[in-house]
């Protein structure tokens, strides 16, 4: 017996590659996919099982957001149209030092999870203060998350010293070992905010715990200049000397890369989180994803936070990533829709070391599934469902979402999150932040 059967007009399982199955069904038991087979066979095998057919819908694996700072949803639209260092040092960091608390992180993260689930994102990789609270919020909302054990050289509301960042990070790692949907990564913020000793310690611990290492790298040209002046080498060279460049590393941004760096990153198996919208908005440059993909690198997608985006919508990131790669390379063939779908799903899973659990609709994997309704005027007729997904769909077409077999979005509505409460809290925070921030400019 299986718990339930979901069928749809089209299923794009991502593995095998470039495949669309018509009138197939997924059989789900205890949160896992136990069969993917023609609908008729499924109904014959399990005639008693609860069964749902989604006509004119496309099923895909849940989207994997490989880089965000979820709680920053409470800063959406607070400081726009500023370059990165001005934005960070004059707006975001002062606001964080004033408002950071477990309550801020809980309310902001819940708002972000609500936005992500509705957009088909079923897993997010977070880097923020109070990762213990992020983990609690995710598990409670039936959301898969990798929480970053943040490390910084300077004090915050979360930790005062380097030792305290590590102690609290390790406590969080122990805490989430009993959470079915949450795992951890070490998350030193960036080469310009973390010195050598804590970088080496984060690498050593990530190796011991067998978890990813999540870090912003080569986000802007200014970061390279500063590193050259301070350390005499580019940030990547410094990280290479410290031993950080390996398949454990998830390097976020990477807008400034030399051809030789692209070659060596790809050889070393470094994973890239491409945050195209955040990079565009902060005018930081472009990650050379066509060259990275051609060199064999694993390129996944990230939204970054809504403070620099301003939305957690990975499907629109995939479309933009594909279009900009084509435009920059003068070649319409690069980043085809099937590759964009892989960047949305399996590449993200691989970057987070979760590709045995999620990223494709295969037997044995978790039932993390998105159903998009293609019946409307914006998405008909359908010749190629994967191209339709990347080039025509928006998050408005996401109608049903399951995480580990449990439905979190049903007919476009949340089942796990009380959105009216979350929205009321967001408004309360904005009122408080606005009342004290006047005169900040």
Beta carbon of residue 86, minimum distance to Zn ion (angstroms, whole number) = 16
Beta carbon of residue 308, minimum distance to Zn ion (angstroms, whole number) = 7
Closer Cβ to Zn ion, 203 or 306, answer by number: 306
- Give the chain's radius of gyration (CA, Å): 21
Beta carbon of residue 69, minimum distance to Zn ion (angstroms, whole number) = 6
Closer Cβ to Zn ion, 144 or 214, answer by number: 214
Q: What is the DSSP string of 245-285?
A: -STTEEEEE--S--HHHHHHHHHHT-EEEE-HHHHHHTT--
Beta carbon of residue 216, minimum distance to Zn ion (angstroms, whole number) = 5
- Grouping H, G, I as helix, E, B as strand and the rest as coil, residue 384 is coil
Which residues, at least 6 apart from 106, have a Cβ–Cβ distance to it below 8 Å? 71, 133, 136, 137
Q: Hey, what are 374's tokens?
A: 């293609």
Closer Cβ to Zn ion, 304 or 313, answer by number: 304
State the Cα–Cα distance between residues 105 and 99, nearest whole angstrom. 10
Residue nearest to Zn ion (CB): 304
Beta carbon of residue 421, minimum distance to Zn ion (angstroms, whole number) = 27
Beta carbon of residue 263, minimum distance to Zn ion (angstroms, whole number) = 26
**296's torsion region: left (phi>0), alpha (psi -120 to 50) or beta?**
left
Instruction: Determine the angle formed by the axes of helices 162-175 and 131-140, rounding to 10 degrees.
Output: 20
For 178, counting Cβ atoms within 10 Å of its Cβ (0-12 exposed, 13-18 middle, 19+ buried), the class is exposed
Instruction: Write down the number of H helices and E strands in the chain.
Output: 17, 16
Distances (CA, A) of 243 to 125, 186, 196, 247, 264: 23, 15, 11, 11, 13
Which residues, at least 6 apart from 205, have a Cβ–Cβ distance to it below 8 Å? 166, 169, 170, 186
Closer Cβ to Zn ion, 223 or 304, answer by number: 304
User: Is there a contact between 12 and 20 (Cβ–Cβ < 8 Å)?
Assistant: yes
Instruction: Determine the angle formed by the axes of helices 196-209 and 162-175, rounding to 10 degrees.
Output: 20
Give backbone dihedrals phi and psi of 2, rounded to 5 degrees, phi first.
-115, 165
State the Cα–Cα distance between residues 67 and 127, nearest whole angstrom. 8
Closer Cβ to Zn ion, 11 or 252, answer by number: 252
Q: In DSSP terms, which residues pair with 127 in a beta bridge?
A: 148
Beta carbon of residue 252, minimum distance to Zn ion (angstroms, whole number) = 6
Closer Cβ to Zn ion, 146 or 404, answer by number: 146
Closer Cβ to Zn ion, 110 or 304, answer by number: 304
Q: What is the DSSP string of 319-374?
A: HHHHHHHHHHHT-TTSS-HHHHHHHHTHHHHHHTT-TTTSSS--TTSB--EEEEE-
Closer Cβ to Zn ion, 304 or 368, answer by number: 304
| Interface positions with Zn ion (CB under 5 A) | 304
Place of tokens 């410094």: 238
Closer Cβ to Zn ion, 250 or 369, answer by number: 250
Q: Which of 410, 376, 373 is nearest to 395 (CA)?
A: 373
Closer Cβ to Zn ion, 8 or 251, answer by number: 251
Beta carbon of residue 199, minimum distance to Zn ion (angstroms, whole number) = 17
Closer Cβ to Zn ion, 97 or 356, answer by number: 97
């Amino acid at each position: 017996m299986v718990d339930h059967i979901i069928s749809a007009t089209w299923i794009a399982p991502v593995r095998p590659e470039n495949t669309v199955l018509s009138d197939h069904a997924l059989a789900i038991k205890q949160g896992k996919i136990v069969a993917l087979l023609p609908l008729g066979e499924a109904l014959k095998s399990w005639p008693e099982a609860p069964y749902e057919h989604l006509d004119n819908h496309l099923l895909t694996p849940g989207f994997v957001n490989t880089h965000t700072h979820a709680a920053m949803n409470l800063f959406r639209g607070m400081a726009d149209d500023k370059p990165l260092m001005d934005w960070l040092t004059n707006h975001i960091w002062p606001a964080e030092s004033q408002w950071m608390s477990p309550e801020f992180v809980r309310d902001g993260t819940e708002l972000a999870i609500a936005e992500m689930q509705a957009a088909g994102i079923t897993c997010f990789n977070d880097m923020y203060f109070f990762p213990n609270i992020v983990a609690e919020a995710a598990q409670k909302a039936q959301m898969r998350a990798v929480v970053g054990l943040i490390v910084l050289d300077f004090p915050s509301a979360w930790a005062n010293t380097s030792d305290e960042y590590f102690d609290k990070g390790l406590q969080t790692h122990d805490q989430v070992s009993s959470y079915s949907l949450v795992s951890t990564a070490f998350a030193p913020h960036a080469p310009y905010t973390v010195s050598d000793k804590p970088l080496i310690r984060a690498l050593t611990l990530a190796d011991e715990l067998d978890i990813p290492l999540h870090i912003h790298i080569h986000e802007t040209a200014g970061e390279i200049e500063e590193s050259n002046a301070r350390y005499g080498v580019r940030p990547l060279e410094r990280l290479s000397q410290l031993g950080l460049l390996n398949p454990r590393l998830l390097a976020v941004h990477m807008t400034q890369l030399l051809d030789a760096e692209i070659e060596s990153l790809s050889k070393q198996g470094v994973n890239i989180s491409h945050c195209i919208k955040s990079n565009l908005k902060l005018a930081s440059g472009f990650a050379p994803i066509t060259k990275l993909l051609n060199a064999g690198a694993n390129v996944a997608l990230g939204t970054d936070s809504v403070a620099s985006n301003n939305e957690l919508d990975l499907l629109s990131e995939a479309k933009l990533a594909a279009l900009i790669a084509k435009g920059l390379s003068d070649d319409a063939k690069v980043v085809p829709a099937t590759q964009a779908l892989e960047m949305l799903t399996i590449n993200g899973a691989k970057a987070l070391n979760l590709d045995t659990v999620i990223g494709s609709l295969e037997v044995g994997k978790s039932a993390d599934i998105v159903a998009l309704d293609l019946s409307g005027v914006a998405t008909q007729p359908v010749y190629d469902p994967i191209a339709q997904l990347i080039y025509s769909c928006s998050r408005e077409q996401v109608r049903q979402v399951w995480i580990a077999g449990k439905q979190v979005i049903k007919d476009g509505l949340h089942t796990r999150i009380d959105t009216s409460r979350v929205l009321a809290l967001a408004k309360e925070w904005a009122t408080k932040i606005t009342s004290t921030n006047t005169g900040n400019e």
